[in-house]
Chain A
Amino acid sequence: DAGVTQSPTHLIKTRGQHVTLRCSPISGHKSVSWYQQVLGQGPQFIFQYYEKEERGRGNFPDRFSARQFPNYSSELNVNALLLGDSALYLCASSQTTGGAEAFFGQGTRLTVV
């Protein structure tokens, strides 16, 4: 079975632009979470979706938004990009919410110039 897949793996954007990151969870997993990891730090929670509903939101500005589709894949959108948005964006997949083990994709490296 395929693991968590994220696309694209790398991208470069200019300040003020918009970006969409995509994640496909492990087959059978209904929960997707998004994290931002700045170099040298642990990941920071952005969003969690379960059964297409938002179940949690971290301390990120409204420029960040996400959604989950009927096939449980997910998109993370970031508007009006800032230099500080440069980071590794990680998607995690789990069967349910709460205590289920989280499995991560390889991440999307976003560079804002």
Chain B
Amino acid sequence: KQEVTQIPAALSVPEGENLVLNCSFTDSAIYNLQWFRQDPGKGLTSLLLIQSSQREQTSGRLNASLDKSSGRSTLYIAASQPGDSATYLCAVRPGSNYQLIWGAGTKLIIKP
């Protein structure tokens, strides 16, 4: 059974720092992995999608990497800003069915 874990559950850093959010999964047989952002009480905004054949994806100040063999993905945020404060969730789509399986998220606070 696929399980997704995100550590830490919460992170607070000063503005301007580069930071890394972690996502681990137990079964390496995945179609893809997706990172999302969620603002309080709101829906989910897709940030990056990494296909199983890819190693990384970049969008602006965000870079996501995927290491299937070790069951890990990281989301790198460069030059963090207060507007980056949100909960970041990763989700994997297993190779054998269609549902997304989610981590519980990392709540990120960027201090001005």
Report A's interface with B, CB cutoff 8 A: 4, 6, 33, 35, 40-45, 48, 55-56, 58, 88, 90, 92, 97-99, 101-107, 109
Interface residue tally for chain B (C-beta within 8 Å): 25
Q: A56-B97, A101-B46, A103-B46 are in contact. Are A42 and B102 (CB under 8 A)?
A: yes
Which one of B46, B49, B89, B98 has the greatest number of beta carbons of chain A within 10 Å?
B98
Of chain B, the residue at the smallest CB distance from A101 is B49
Asked if B46 and A102 make an inter-chain contact with CB atoms under 8 angstroms apart, the answer reads yes
Contact for A104 among B32, B44, B99, CB less than 8 A: B44
Question: A98: shortest Cβ distance to chain B, in Å?
Answer: 6
* Contact segment of B35-43, B64-72, B73-81: B35-43
Question: A60: shortest Cβ distance to chain B, in Å?
Answer: 12
Within 8 Å of chain A (Cβ to Cβ): is B86? Answer: no
Report B's interface with A, CB cutoff 8 A: 4, 31-32, 34, 36, 41-46, 49, 51, 89, 91, 93, 97-105
Q: Sorted from nearest, which 7 A-B pairs have the closest CB atoms?
A: A42-B102, A45-B99, A106-B43, A104-B44, A99-B31, A107-B43, A101-B49
Contact for A42 among B4, B32, B41, CB less than 8 A: B4
CA distance A14 to B91 in the complex (A): 32
Interchain residue pairs with CB less than 8 A apart (13): A6-B43, A33-B99, A35-B100, A40-B104, A42-B105, A43-B91, A45-B100, A48-B99, A56-B99, A90-B43, A101-B34, A106-B42, A109-B41
